[in-house]
């Protein structure tokens, strides 16, 4: 992993933490950081093989499987200017469902970001909470 990616992960890990805890986490051991990542985010950051245990807005594993079937990660990452190390699935679960972002170009409205009214209906009928 590159130095810049490591710094980004550490920065994301310490956001919202009190100063003394942020310093100890930022400079702490890898084992400690991974444990805190798992506790805070439900997975190890940057590890695409570790599943999300539960996204903040309540997306469970069954919904994640349905989302994965329709989410075009490359298109979504490009539309929302996500870095390669950022997880498109996590971004969609945390923000996309709340803000009604389109998961693929076929469901996008004219603005290229938001869902069309029929796409919302399709997601709801497939058991995905919007």
Report whether 104 contacts 114 (CB < 8 A). Answer: no
Report whether 101 contacts 114 (CB < 8 A). Answer: yes
Digit-coded pLDDT (tens) for 31-45 = 888 888 887 777 777
Report whether 89 contacts 120 (CB < 8 A). Answer: no
With DSSP H G I counted as helix, E B as strand and the rest as coil, what are the percentages for the chain, rounded to 5?
Answer: 55, 5, 40
Checking if the pLDDT of 47 tops 80, the result is no
Digit-coded pLDDT (tens) for 88-123 = 888 888 888 888 899 999 999 888 888 888 888 888
Cβ density class 76-111: b for 16+ within 10 Å, e for less: bbebeebeeeebbbbbbbbebbeeebbbeeebbeee
The per-residue pLDDT for 16 is 83
Q: What's the mean per-residue pLDDT of the chain?
A: 82
Comparing 71 with 60, the larger pLDDT belongs to: 71
- Residue 86 to residues 29, 48, 93, Cα–Cα distance (Å): 22, 10, 13
Vertex 124 angle, CA 121 and 130, to 5°: 100
Question: Which structure tokens are listed for 58?
Answer: 């309540």
């Amino acid at each position: 992993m590159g130095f810049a990616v490591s710094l980004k992960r550490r920065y994301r890990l310490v956001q919202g933490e009190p100063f003394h805890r942020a310093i100890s986490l930022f400079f702490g051991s890898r084992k400690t950081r991974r444990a805190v990542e798992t506790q805070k985010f439900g997975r190890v950051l940057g590890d695409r093989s570790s599943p999300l245990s539960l996204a903040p807005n309540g997306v469970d594993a069954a919904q994640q499987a349905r989302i994965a079937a329709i989410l075009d990660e490359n298109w979504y990452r490009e539309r929302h200017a996500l870095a390669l190390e950022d997880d498109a699935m996590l971004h969609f679960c945390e923000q996309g469902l709340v803000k009604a972002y389109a998961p693929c170009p076929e469901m996008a409205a004219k603005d290229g970001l938001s869902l069309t009214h029929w796409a919302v209906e399709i997601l709801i009928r497939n058991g995905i909470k919007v």
